[in-house]
Amino acid sequence: MGHGKLKKFAENETFRCLLQPAADDVLVKGSRELVLKDHPIKGNWGREMFGNGNPIVLELGCGGGEYTIALAQRHPEINYIGVDIKGARLWKGAKFATLNNLPNVAFLRTRIEFITAFFGPGEVSEIWLTFSDPQLSGSQNSRLSSPMFLNRYRSFMVPGGIVHLKTDSRFLYEYTMSVVKANNLDILACSTDVYGNNSHSGPIFSHCRPRPAILYEEVTGVQTFYEKMFLDMGLPITYMAFVIDHSGDYVYPEFDAEYWRSVEGPRRSFSHQPASKH
């Protein structure tokens, strides 16, 4: 491990906005299976981290926190939490938030598989999945928009909670759309090319919460490092927003993974590195 990374890890310990729980804080010892226990912050983010009762929005797989910070700067009345497992990446966002005195930004270093240990019922209003790893050859359950993950998100989201997916992966977009349709979830917005000539016209952003103009700015006005690279290559950026409300278990969709892998092409090896981020 390089000296620069060690320095970042040491500085991470000084950031109040960055929570880095140990595995023992959320895993039950002695269990043969993965069993989670609640972290003390669960249900207490507003009081313990932010000192207010404002809505909370998560970015899962936030990398350096570019989207988390940009949204927080646009909406000081909302609290934003970026979640990622990579400490060296989180250092960038946590340092920026600290140096710029952003009171509505926090970061959580953990595996997204452990997310239910950190958030209580009705604690989160929205989730952003920004350029997540599409897991082209992995199981459905490894995708952050799978029924398994949606069930976890539902356990801590408010009624009417919204999930946003922004990705350069047509495979992941189409997979998520198949999940949404199989479960009859309410689609608030969708586009296979948000920067195309017709992205802001017609019904694409016309029935969104928050207001269409605000959502359009959040989707197109914030661009991560990799997103800019994709756009320079001429790759379309896709987006959808849907309401997570659903009674009963989420069902798994019929999805032609082989076809959409062929549509995806070889660019995945370039655009997505391990742990998938900006």
Spans of all domains in the chain? 3-271
What's the pLDDT score for residue 249?
93
CA dihedral 179, 242, 190, 108 (to 10 degrees): -90
Give the per-residue pLDDT at 205: 54
3-state secondary structure of 82: strand
- d(C-alpha 257, C-alpha 137), whole Å: 9
Residues tagged active-site:
133
Selection from 278, 174, 168 nearest residue 233 by Cα: 168
Which amino acid, one-letter code, is at 270? F
Is residue 262 scored above 50 in pLDDT? yes
What is the per-residue pLDDT across 98-119, written as a single tens digit (0 to 9) for each?
999 999 999 999 999 999 999 9
Residues pairing with 166 in the sheet: 130, 239
- Give the pLDDT score at 196: 80
Confidence band of 191 (pLDDT split at 50, 70, 90): confident
190-194, 206-210, 228-232: the lowest-pLDDT one = 206-210
For the chain, the maximum distance between any two Cα atoms, rounded to a whole number of angstroms, is 57
The two three-digit tokens of residue 5, written as one number? 């990374």
Q: What percent of the chain shows pLDDT beyond 90? A: 71
Residue 22, pLDDT above cutoff 70: yes
Task: Tally Cβ neighbours within 10 Å of residue 126.
Answer: 23
Is 135 strand, coil or helix? coil
Listed residue (149, 165, 146) closest to 157, CA to CA: 149
- Averaged pLDDT for residues 220-246: 90
In this prediction the pTM is 0.90
What does the DSSP 8-state code read for residue 172? H
**Is pLDDT above 70 for 194?**
yes
d(CA 210, CA 159): 15
pLDDT for residue 203? 41
Task: Give the CATH number of domain 3-271.
Answer: 3.40.50.150
Tokens of 47: 């009081």
